[in-house]
Chain A
Amino acid sequence: MNSNLKNQPSKDGSVAKKDIVILDLIAKDHPGSFEMLIEKYGNLVWSIGKKFLGNQSDLEDAVQEVLIAIWKSAGKFDPSKASEITFVSMIARRRFIDYLRKITKHKSEDSMDDDNNNIHLYKESLLNQETDLALVKSAIDELDEDDQELLNLSVYQGYSHSEISDILNIPLGTVKTRIRRNLMKLKDTFATNKIQSNVIQLNNG
């Protein structure tokens, strides 16, 4: 896929919304690219941040920092190394984890009122554009149910290893080993699926 060709702005400066690689546009200083970044990934960043930080005032500041960090890092995005969503969520997770360490606050269980009006569009937008999501979903599905639960608690819900040990009442060492093995397995399966997917794409011209 040549993302550069796909995302050429038209003569009037507008860009077709389908399959937009926002980071390319940001790197090219396209007007309104920050707003497009928020439109496409704002909810994802917000959701990740909410998981890590919970507290609304910290969350607002951190989300703003993360979005600006993504905007500033757009030039480093290399589609041959990672998909756009991986790049965005990787920066977001790393920044939120660092932020969490900085404020040394524990994750809050407080619920927050959400505006869910755009969720459907948001989900569609990401699903349509990111085959990597489907590949990694299939890799997750290949794990045992117990391992999926561990991964869910650790990666998605953001519980620390020692918290998971308490929740599931299993030794900390076992939690560490199983999460490490699951991530290794996920990494390997995803890499294999990715190669197969690329081969299929090449064969289909």
Chain B
Amino acid sequence: MDRTQEKLNNLLDLLAMRSCQPLSYTEELELNHLLDEFPEYTPDYFEPIAALADSTMFVHDPKNLSSMPESIQKKIIKNFRSQNAESKTLQIFKNIFQTPKLAWAMTCLLAIGTSMSMIEFRNYETNYRNLPVKKALLEITSEDLIEYNWFAQTDEFCDCSGNVMWSDDSQRGFITLAGLPMNDSSKNQYQIWIVDPNMHANPVDGGVFDIVTTESPTIIPINPKLPIGKAKGFAITLEQTGGVVISEQPLILTAPKERPESTYGISQTTI
């Protein structure tokens, strides 16, 4: 068997495993490496067929069927309704945008609001006001929104989760994080990096932030220090207070998991 076939079989083994069980950290790394070599395969290559086979086995074999207890169904519906009620404001926004009669009026208001918030957005002190609303607004209004989940680059941060949302057109975005340890802001701060390999040789500084609580997920705005053409990836490092221009620290989290290929041949382990 030649080396390429061996690698392909290895990739398919890992994809088959991924569709049925959690992979270890090493297996995840190996899978990502192999996916880079065989871009025609996607991480979910076997997932639809595994899901369908799974459902078939449940449905065709009565002894395997379980009914969700009614009390749990009721609890889930109750929780859903209360969560849904909280997002009513968001729903109102959505409805307004879907109603042609109000579209023009809202566009004018939004234009004014966006201009004002742009001024406010660049101000560090006001940057952290009304973040959930700003995030929701970006989500509704951006046509080019991209969203990635964060992936820990070391076992130490494997409990971290969350995502990053970014719009090239708006030149803004937000990250949501849970599980990142609190930092001592007098000694160090977390720093966001935006990877735009076609426009910038080095990742662009996206601002620094502190984690002041581990109780609930934190929303942080991304403030690029240079214009971004097309963001291909994001990363977080822990730096000296105030941040740095070029980092030499190891990556803590990345989104997506593997760094997008750079036209400038930057190393994958440091920014």
Chain A residues engaging chain B, CB cutoff 8 angstroms: 34-35, 38, 42-48, 50, 60, 63-64, 67-68, 71, 82-83, 85-86, 89-90, 92-94, 97-98, 100-102, 112-119, 122-123, 126-127, 130, 132-133, 136-137, 140, 151-152, 154-156, 158, 160-161, 176-177, 179-180, 183-184, 186-187, 190
Contacts and interface: CB of A to CB of B under 8 A. Distances in A.
B30 interface: no
Interface in B1-53: 9, 12-13, 15-23, 44, 46-53
B21 A50 contact: no
A114 B69 contact: yes
A180 B18 CA distance: 11
Contact of A90 (B12, B48, B62): B48
Name the prevailing secondary structure of the B interface residues: helix
Given A63-B76, A154-B20, A180-B13, A89 B68 contact: no
Of B19, B46, B65, B159, most buried by chain A (CB within 10 Å of CB) is: B65
B55 A44 contact: yes
A114 B72 CA distance: 11
B54 A38 contact: no
B67 interface: yes
B: contact size bracket: 35 or more
B67 A133 contact: no
Given A68-B80, A92-B51, 20 more contacts: A34-B77, A38-B77, A46-B67, A48-B54, A89-B54, A97-B18, A101-B22, A102-B161, A115-B70, A133-B52, A133-B56, A136-B52, A140-B53, A152-B57, A155-B20, A156-B57, A176-B16, A179-B13, A179-B17, A179-B20
B45 to A, nearest CB: 9
Interface of B: 9, 12-13, 15-23, 44, 46-60, 62, 64-70, 72-73, 75-77, 79-80, 83-84, 159, 161
A46 B68 contact: yes
B57 A64 contact: no
12 contacts: A38-B73, A44-B58, A97-B21, A100-B21, A100-B22, A123-B62, A133-B56, A136-B52, A177-B9, A179-B20, A183-B16, A190-B49
A67 B76 contact: yes
Contacts of B19: 93, 155, 183
A82 B12 CA distance: 21
A47 B66 CA distance: 5
A136 B93 CA distance: 43
Name the prevailing secondary structure of the A interface residues: helix
B159 A102 contact: yes
Nearest to A188: B49
Nearest to A97: B22
A43 B68 contact: yes
B133 to A, nearest CB: 19
A156 B47 contact: no
Given A115-B70, A183-B49, A186-B53, A60 B75 contact: yes
A183 B41 CA distance: 15
Nearest to B69: A115
Nearest to A35: B77
A82 B48 contact: yes
A75 B17 CA distance: 28
A46 B65 CA distance: 9
A124 B83 CA distance: 32
A64 B76 CA distance: 6
Contact of A136 (B13, B56, B68, B70): B56
A46 B80 CA distance: 16
B60 to A, nearest CB: 6
